[in-house]
């Protein structure tokens, strides 16, 4: 074999070996990264660090009636710490998600006279005063602490986007359903929104730790507002 051929063979062999070593190292690193990604991330307890951000402040009135037929206005809640959510009676997600969370909050803060809940229907034509009263009784809702509120649909649509910073609600592609914002908002006693939480977007059965973490943040924001 010629000298030049031997030299070429040596260089070629070294190159092949080097590529093999590098490929093996790369694959081992990728395997480690996938292994790390598959391991669940430890979630720390949610904490409100400092003063929560102010999303918006209510400056305009939104009047309607609660489940007892009483005239109410969101501006009357100044001095209260309250949570807000949209709903309608035929909404399956409302029944299995937000309403459950709101009932838990009602029990958690039942003894605090400063705490309040507002659930406002996006379908006042279907959710009649009679239905709202019956629904309230079924859930053992204390009307003095939790309003199931009805108001003009067009007025709510404008108010929701302008004052509450909620997404526009509209007819869903599913017959008889309404696509609406499922977030739960927290307001302090100065009518300032201090947080918005979308537990609906988290599959509790698949991501229980993440769901619990976000729910704990919701509670922590309420507690901060009640303490300040």
Burial of 209 (0-12, 13-18, 19+ CB in 10 A): exposed
Sequence-separated (6 or more) residues with CB below 8 Å from residue 109: 115, 222, 226
Q: In Å, what is the CA distance from 71 to each residue of 21, 61, 66, 122, 182?
A: 77, 12, 7, 18, 25
Contact of 61 with 156, CB cutoff 8 Å:
no
For residues 228 and 225, give the distance between their C-alpha atoms in angstroms, rounded to a whole number.
5
> Known binder of ligand: residue 91?
yes
- DSSP strands (E only) in the chain: 56-57, 63-65, 71-73, 81-87, 115-121, 146-149, 170-171, 178-179, 184-187, 192-197
For the annotated binding site for Cu cation, the residues are 91, 180
Task: Please state the residue numbers annotated as binding site.
Answer: 91, 180
């Amino acid at each position: 074999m010629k000298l030049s051929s031997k030299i070429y063979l040596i260089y070629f062999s070294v190159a092949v070996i080097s590529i093999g070593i590098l490929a093996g190292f790369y694959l081992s690193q990728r395997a480690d990264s996938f292994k790390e990604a598959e391991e669940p991330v430890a979630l720390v307890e949610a904490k409100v660090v400092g003063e929560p951000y102010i999303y918006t402040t209510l400056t305009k009135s939104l009047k309607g009636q609660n489940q007892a037929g009483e005239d109410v206005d969101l501006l009357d809640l100044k001095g209260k710490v309250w949570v807000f959510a949209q709903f309608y009676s035929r909404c399956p997600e409302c029944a299995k998600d937000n309403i459950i969370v709101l009932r838990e909050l009602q029990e958690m803060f039942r003894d605090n006279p400063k705490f309040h809940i507002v659930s406002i229907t996006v379908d006042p034509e279907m959710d009649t005063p009679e239905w709202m009263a019956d629904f309230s009784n079924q859930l053992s809702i204390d009307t003095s602490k939790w309003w199931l509120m009805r108001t003009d649909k067009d007025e709510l649509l404008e108010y929701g986007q302008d004052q509450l910073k909620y997404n526009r609600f509209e007819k869903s592609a599913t017959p008889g359903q309404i696509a609406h914002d499922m977030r739960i908002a927290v307001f302090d006693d100065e009518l300032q929104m201090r947080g918005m939480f979308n537990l609906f977007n988290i599959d509790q059965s698949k991501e229980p730790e993440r769901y619990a973490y976000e729910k704990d943040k919701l509670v922590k924001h309420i507690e901060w507002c009640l303490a300040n």
